[in-house]
Amino acid sequence: MKLVILDHNGVINQCSETFIKTPDEWLPIPGSLDAIARLTHAGYRIITATNQSGIGRGLLDMATFNTINDKMYKAVSQAGGRIDAIFFCPHTSTDKCNCRKPKTGMFEEIMQRYGTDLKNVPIIGDALRDLQVADAIGALPILLLTGKGGMTQKENELPPRTLVFDDLSAAVDAIAGRA
């Protein structure tokens, strides 16, 4: 099974210092929707795995989160792509859950649901925690310089094997070339 796992904010859509709390605040990063469509047409299943502490902080409820995701699904579909599943952690960093990245719980659930391990599966994000969880489970960590990615690269030692790309479109070019 060809699989790619994407973070949301900073990868598919623009980041916000105050969290994405409404559908109107959800704005795709230029080129990201077309990149997802290219992955879809190349036979990849696309999963998103995202920390959403805004839910745990009471900044948005599940109905609003679902409405934001509906907007994302429609935008991706209109570009010719598909997102197969959304996995998310609604907890804050103080909740001490096992699903909040860089912990591996969300990814263990993905492996169980899809009946596969994630060895060398691209996990694409803009934050160190995305790369750390990819490294912890044997996946391929990919850092995008969109969102917080430039700061992540500048301020942290990246896990071994981390690939760095300007944006999702450039990462998809490399992934499609590897396949």
Percent residues over pLDDT 70 in the chain:
99
158-to-76, 118, 132 alpha-carbon distances in Å: 30, 19, 8
The CA dihedral of 66, 79, 144, 117, to the nearest 10 degrees, is 70
Work out the mean pLDDT of the chain and round it to a whole number. Answer: 96
Q: pTM for this one? A: 0.96
Instruction: Note the pLDDT of residue 118.
Output: 97
- Picking from 153, 155, 123, 119, the residue whose alpha carbon sits closest to that of residue 137 is 119
pLDDT at 88 over 70: yes
Please give the average per-residue pLDDT across 68-73, as a whole number.
98
Residue 23: asked if its preceding bond is cis (omega within 30°), the reply is no
CA dist 14 and 27 (Å) reads 6
CA dist 99 and 94 (Å) reads 12
Q: Work out the pLDDT band at 128, boundaries 50, 70, 90.
A: very high
Q: How many domains does the chain have?
A: 1
Instruction: Note the pLDDT of residue 179.
Output: 54
Please give the average per-residue pLDDT across 136-160, as a whole number.
97
Domain that holds residue 87: 3-178
CA dist 102 and 15 (Å) reads 19
CATH number at residue 105: 3.40.50.1000
Q: Which two tokens stand for residue 70?
A: 């509906």
